[in-house]
Amino acid sequence: MKKILCIFFAAMMVCTAVSAAESGNQTRDESKWASISYANVPVYKILESRDAYVIIYGKNRIGFGSTVIPKKWATGNTENPRKLKFRVVKGALQPFMTVVRKDGNFIRVILNVPVSKSNSVWGVANDTKALDTDKESLEDLEL
pTM (two decimals): 0.73
| Residue 62 CA from chain centroid, whole number | 19
Interval 8-67: pLDDT, tens: 888 888 877 777 655 555 566 777 788 899 999 999 999 999 889 999 999 887 889 999
pLDDT bracket for residue 104 (50, 70, 90): confident
Q: What is the pLDDT of residue 101?
A: 92
Q: Any idea which of 2-6, 21-25, 130-134 has the lowest mean pLDDT?
A: 21-25
Q: What is the pLDDT of residue 10?
A: 83
How far is the C-alpha of 143 from the C-alpha of 141, rounded, in Å?
Answer: 6
